[in-house]
Amino acid sequence: MLYTIVMMVCMTAVPQACEQREEVANGLAMNPGVAFMQAQPLVAHWLETHPGYFVQRWRVLPGRGA
């Protein structure tokens, strides 16, 4: 199922400098709870590829897409 991972990300050096980022995730489970667990590694991967940021909060929204 198509989901959008919505993350509030902030710069490590300037924690008050935050912005919302959206990443489309396809193939997650239909069950929202399971999809949330499946999305955790995707959020971790985003963090690995964007040094200097941290994720303040995130959620998974079904049926969205860019």
pLDDT digits (tens, 9 = 90+) for 49-64: 999 999 999 999 987 6
Q: What is the pLDDT of residue 65?
A: 57
- Model pLDDT, residue 64: 66
C-alpha 40/C-alpha 58 separation (Å) is: 10
Helix (H, G, I), strand (E, B) or coil at 62: strand
Structure confidence at residue 62 (pLDDT)? 86
Burial of residue 47 (number of CB atoms within 10 Å: 0-12, 13-18, 19+): middle
pLDDT digits (tens, 9 = 90+) for 1-45: 899 999 999 999 999 999 999 999 999 999 989 999 999 999 999
Provide the total of helices (H) and of strands (E) in the chain, helices listed first: 1, 3
pLDDT at 15: 94
